[in-house]
Amino acid sequence: MKCCAMGFIEDVETIMAQIPEGHQTALFSATMPEAIRRITRRFMKEPQEVRIQSSVTTRPDISQSYWTAYGMRKNEALVRFLEAEDFDAAIIFVRTKTRPLEVAEALERSGYNSAALNGDMNQALREQTLERLKDGRLDILIATDVAARGLDVERISLVVNYDIPMDSESYVHRIGRTGRAGRAGRALLFVENRERRLLRNIERTMKLTIPEVELPNAELLGKRRLGKIRG
């Protein structure tokens, strides 16, 4: 039901209006936020919910942390974290379909090999972009939840939640893009002060407390740069 989140609710209503009363309705969704629940109450009679529990909640091979986003702009902070991290490939999740290109352009200006992936991209270009990520010609992908649907790239070792998801189930799906094929993964979450409630919801779902990290400082970044030169 991601189509509803993308603004296609009127199309859904039109389709439902043409269906005869004697029918069975099945709704499938990767997540079940309140907006989707409202749709089930509106279009379904006495619906039964079947949940498939994600295994990500019990995976110790994904190291998780969050950073409180205040003062500095997110793009500047993102560049600092990327410079401080050791990663093979990274995926950065954003909330709106206009944001991937904005973030990709900011990273390109900082010298990172990145590309945007959004729901408006045609299938051929999408496949080309994913192939570049898989074979190492591309290091960083910026995407929305919808655009990243079905994405499976083993070399992704870092997931950055640039925008915190509105429901905890989406967070579980996001970080599940890393830690594949027995590899260790890292997940970083940007949280604004007004989004603390969403963070607590995620922690309840994950059954853990996500530790807070500080923004990498100039001294740390200086050591990283020196190490790269010597290496």
DSSP H helical ranges for 7-147 = 9-18, 34-43, 74-84, 99-109, 123-135
Q: How many residues does the chain have?
A: 231
- Cα→Cα distances 120→91, 141, 146, 223, 226, Å: 18, 15, 10, 41, 41
Q: What is the pLDDT of residues 80-113, one digit of tens each?
A: 999 998 899 999 999 988 999 999 999 999 999 9
pLDDT at 136 over 90: yes
| Domain residue extents for the chain | 2-43, 56-230
The residue whose two tokens read 């009127």 is 10
Contact yes or no for 1/28 (Cβ under 8 A): yes
**CATH class given for the domain over 56-230:** alpha beta
Phi, psi of 72 (to 5 degrees): -75, 145
**Residue 96 half-sphere exposure toward CB, CA atoms < 13 A:** 4
- pTM to 2 decimal places: 0.76
Q: What is the pLDDT of residues 116-132, one digit of tens each?
A: 998 788 889 989 999 99
Angle at 83 (CA atoms; ends 78, 84), nearest 5 degrees: 100
How many helices (H) and strands (E) would you count in the chain?
9, 6
Q: What is the Cα–Cα distance from 29 to 142, expressed in whole angstroms? A: 22
Give the pLDDT of residue 6: 47
Q: What is the Cα–Cα distance from 184 to 156, expressed in whole angstroms? A: 10
Angle at 93 (CA atoms; ends 60, 202), nearest 5 degrees: 50
pLDDT at 64 over 70: yes
Mean pLDDT across the stretch 69-73? 78
Q: What is the Cα–Cα distance from 218 to 206, expressed in whole angstroms? A: 33
